[in-house]
Amino acid sequence: MLMELSEAKRSLEAAAAKIIPTPAADALPSKFYEAFILHGLRVDLVEPGRILCSMTVPPRLSNVGKLLHGGAAMSIIDLVGSAVFYTVGARMTGSPLEISTTYLESAFVHVEIEIEAKVLRVGKVVGVATVDLRKKNTGKSFAQARYTKYFGKTSKM
């Protein structure tokens, strides 16, 4: 049992350092992650309560099976889901309260995908949206999410 615990620790600590040494990772700019995820995203339509985007799944967002990594898909959902609230005049700043995502199937590298975010409701401090990730050539959803965001003032604790 102790060996399994140390193996888990080693695999997590070594994974990132193997690809990008710690000094190089620490030197990345503060908005690097958003740019890394969204690079290549095209905004095809913006209207009140709706954003439609598309992109080709890049190798940098894939897992070892050459599929869009679930964490990368979740980041796309978070970023586009957050942006859709701007289309109805809500504050962009805030914090996600909940993001519930269902992965229905996979999307391979180099597949063209669509990301559609729709506002369901915006109150004084909470907004709810849906985000659908689809394969562009078939229109078939491969991930669906419900995104709840808090727009109130953040704590300074």
**What average pLDDT does this structure show over 140-150?**
97
Q: Is residue 53's pLDDT more than 90?
A: yes
Cβ atoms 146, 105 nearer than 8 A = no
Largest CA distance in the chain: 55
Say if CB 77 and CB 30 are below 8 A apart.
Answer: no
Q: How confident is the model at residue 67 (pLDDT cuts 50, 70, 90)?
A: very high
Q: Can you give the residue ranges of every domain in the chain? A: 32-150
Check whether 75 has a pLDDT greater than 80. yes
Element containing residue 124 per DSSP (H, E): none
Residue 32 has pLDDT above 60, yes or no: yes
Numbers of helices and strands, H then E, in the chain: 4, 6
The per-residue pLDDT for 2 is 57
Residue 78 has pLDDT above 80, yes or no: yes
pLDDT confidence tier of residue 12, bands split at 50, 70 and 90: confident
Q: Which residue has the tokens 């709810």?
A: 128
Is the pLDDT reported for residue 16 higher than 80? no
Q: Is the CATH code 3.10.129.10 the one for domain 32-150?
A: yes
Cα separation of the two ends of the chain: 39
Neighbours of 13 (CB within 10 A): 10
Structure confidence at residue 31 (pLDDT): 78
